[in-house]
Structure 1
Amino acid sequence: MKKRPLIKSKKTIAQTRIFAVEELQMQFSNGEERIYERLKAGTHGAVMIIPVLDDEHFLLIKEYAAGVENYELAFPKGLIETAEAPELAANRELQEETGYAAKQLDLLKQISLAPGYLSHKMFLVLARDLYESSLKGDEPEPIEVVKWRFDQIDQLLAHEDFTEARSIAALYLLQRYLQMV
């Protein structure tokens, strides 16, 4: 296993309301030096929830995604707040975005997003034994909740509005998890 590069310095070179660009001066074990830039994410990470409604259905949401200027189908997601465990954040976000809470929450995997230039981490959480419960969220408009059948996963993968790589990864992990139980 290679030795990790030495980070000689870090500095913020640009800051917006939600993004920070950080410059890293790096020295590799062979003596080579490089300057890297990355988007610095918040310190707590985020959650993506895979809500299983019953033996035949799971839930998705359809909300506006400014990055692609379109309404997208995806699993519910949100930021983890200070001193909040991923499972608690998942249950809070689930209630804010779908109107359901979960009695059973299982952490499936922690994933990264474009790790070459983004420090963000996301926890994929399986939510089962759902019951109706809602919390007020920070969304600018009501979120559409979409019930989807497990036997129509191939149609979901082909759906033109289901493009988010994190949701596609979560769907594959869900299929794998369900095969094991």
Structure 2
Amino acid sequence: MQAKSAEDVDLRVRRRLRELRTQRGLTLEEVATRADLDVSTLSRLESGKRRLALDHLPRLAAALAVSTDDLLRAPDTEDPRVRGTAHTRHGVTYWPLTNDGPAAGLHAFKIRVSARRRTPPDVLPVHDGQDWMYVLAGRLRLILGERDFTIKPGEAVEFSTWTPHWFGAVDGPVEAVAIFGPHGERLHLHRDEGA
């Protein structure tokens, strides 16, 4: 049990050391010099390839201008809330549900399709990727190539965006959750076409 506790403290200090160093914009070399340690020792401490010794703590704390207690405390948990702002383009409002750098380049949005978005453009857009949508409320019109679909609440669709496509409202506003790849996100939120 005591070994587990020592490992937890070691891991916590390593993470806190790296967090404080990067917050202050300091290099390994700068902190090592201030703490009177070799750069390789500090690097191995941060990476877990070397165990932390008690005499390292006061020197590292001083090098980072914090107390030893601050160096030993657990790092703050990041705020998990997504703080993006809504964008409206061509009758669709997009609220981001993922922060920057989502996994595998996917971007999730809650969308609201205006009841006025009923007429597809003359040329349906095509782009690299895959789109996925889940309808929460209203009836969504989805055109894929030559086919015209009505998607009801509780139904999901997934399609290759190499197929000419467009979505709009059937008879009132539509709310849905959508997941776009990076190409789809750029097309729906940033290009000037009637996507």
TM-score (norm 2): 0.22
TM-score (norm 1): 0.23
RCO greater where, 1 or 2, for CA within 8 Å and sep 6 or more?
1
